[in-house]
């Protein structure tokens, strides 16, 4: 699924400026717990989270996750957006809940990891 | 080549800065991305542990032709029961740490999983030192 499709499905807003949304994501993983995200070794993951602080972006950077979808209307601050831009991480936000977001994307064909 | 970094206690704004810096150094080498990810995840877990649980410390990373050796050293307060600390799900994290998305009790186990060897020395009231090593494999054609 492309990021463009992700944005469309969840009525999302892209927060990291003019970025290419043609990148494909292979899996979705929903968690507010970065400890769990750090156990993933797969590539091309869309991280779906309600954790809106520096460590969400840092964890993505360390785990080679190139896209984060913030749910429940959580908005990253300017520092997080800047950090994401520096590391080529696309940030998207939606007002939908984590359950609703995950359900929509799963239904649309985005697989889970486990 | 050896890289040394200081890690401040309780500074969650900076937590991950060391791992980010060292990742840049590793990316200059022709290492498989999966290996870099293993090294960096273990390092980041260790860095977050120093920020979250210790009085502060330092991290030294040495790259040789055969391995990456990472030493994470803090100034206390020490781990009373190392076997318990290594157990998945065991955590002594504060609410502040949990608000940052950590404290699930996965960090130590994840460091062990991602490294080729992990050695830890600590005791209650003492410093904690963790030595991690990773054997290097290079991409074909190098």
Task: Please give the DSSP secondary-structure letter assigned to residue B139.
Answer: P
**According to the model, what pLDDT value does residue B91 have?**
94
For the segment A32-52, what is each residue's pLDDT rounded down to a tens digit? 999 999 999 999 999 999 999
Do residue B110 and residue A39 have CB atoms under 8 angstroms apart? yes
Residue A45 token pair:
């993951």
Does the residue A114 lie in any domain?
no
Check if the interface score ipTM surpasses 0.90.
yes
Do residue B16 and residue A61 have CB atoms under 8 angstroms apart? yes
For the segment B63-117, what is each residue's pLDDT rounded down to a tens digit? 999 999 999 999 999 999 999 999 999 999 999 999 999 999 999 999 999 999 9
A90 Rama class: left (phi>0) / alpha (psi -120 to 50) / beta:
beta
Coil/strand/helix, residue B1: coil
Number of structural domains in chain A: 1
Do residue A35 and residue B104 have CB atoms under 8 angstroms apart? yes
Q: What is the mean pLDDT of the segment spanning B44-68?
A: 97
Mutate to test the interface with A, among B101, B102, B104 (most CBs of A within 10 A): B101
Chain B partners within 8 Å of A64 (Cβ): 33, 37
Q: What is the mean pLDDT of the segment spanning A67-87?
A: 97
Task: Please give the DSSP secondary-structure letter assigned to residue A80.
Answer: H
Closest in B15, B33, B40 to A55, CB measured: B15
**According to the model, what pLDDT value does residue B18 have?**
98
Does the residue A52 lie in any domain?
yes
Exposure of B13 in the CB half-sphere (CA atoms within 13 A): 2
Cis before residue B124, ω within 30 degrees of 0? Answer: no
pLDDT band at B142 (very low <50, low <70, confident <90, very high): very low
With CA atoms as reference, the chain A residue closest to B109 would be A39
**Which residues of chain B have a Cβ shorter than 8 Å from any chain A Cβ?**
12-13, 15-16, 19-20, 23, 33-34, 37-38, 40-41, 44-45, 48, 99-107, 110, 113
Task: Please give the DSSP secondary-structure letter assigned to residue A112.
Answer: B
Does the residue A71 lie in any domain?
yes
Domain extent, residue A71, equals 3-107
Contact B127, B73 (CB under 8 A): yes
What CATH number is attached to the domain comprising A101? 3.40.1390.20
Do residue A36 and residue B106 have CB atoms under 8 angstroms apart? yes
Does the residue A95 lie in any domain?
yes
**CATH of the domain spanning B2-135:** 3.30.565.10
**According to the model, what pLDDT value does residue B137 have?**
83
**According to the model, what pLDDT value does residue B140 have?**
62
**According to the model, what pLDDT value does residue A25 have?**
97
Tell me how far apart the alpha carbons of residues A49 and A94 are, in angstroms, rounded to a whole number. 10
- Looking at CA atoms only, how far is residue B77 from chain A in angstroms? 22
Does the residue A70 lie in any domain?
yes
């Amino acid at each position: 699924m492309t990021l463009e499709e992700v944005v469309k499905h969840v009525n999302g807003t892209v927060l990291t400026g003019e970025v290419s949304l043609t990148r494909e994501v292979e899996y979705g993983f929903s968690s507010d717990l970065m400890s769990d995200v750090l156990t993933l070794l797969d590539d091309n993951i869309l991280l779906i989270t309600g954790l809106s602080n520096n460590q969400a972006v840092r964890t993505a950077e360390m785990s080679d996750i190139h896209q984060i979808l913030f749910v429940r209307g959580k908005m990253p601050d300017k520092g997080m957006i800047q950090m994401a831009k520096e590391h080529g991480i696309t940030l998207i936000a939606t007002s939908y809940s984590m359950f609703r977001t995950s359900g929509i994307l799963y239904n649309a064909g985005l697989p889970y990891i486990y | 080549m050896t890289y040394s970094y200081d890690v401040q206690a309780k500074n969650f704004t900076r937590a991950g800065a060391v791992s980010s810096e060292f990742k840049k150094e590793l990316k200059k080498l022709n290492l498989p991305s999966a290996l870099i990810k293993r090294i960096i995840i273990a390092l980041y877990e260790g860095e977050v542990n120093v920020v979250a649980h210790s009085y502060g410390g330092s991290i030294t990373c040495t790259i040789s032709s055969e391995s990456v050796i990472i030493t994470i050293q803090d100034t206390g307060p020490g781990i009373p029961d190392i076997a318990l600390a290594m157990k998945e799900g065991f955590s002594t994290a504060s609410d502040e740490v949990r608000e940052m998305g950590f404290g699930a009790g996965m960090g130590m186990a994840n460091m062990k999983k991602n490294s080729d060897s992990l050695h830890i020395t600590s005791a209650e009231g003492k410093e904690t030192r963790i030595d991690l090593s990773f054997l290097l494999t290079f991409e074909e054609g190098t």
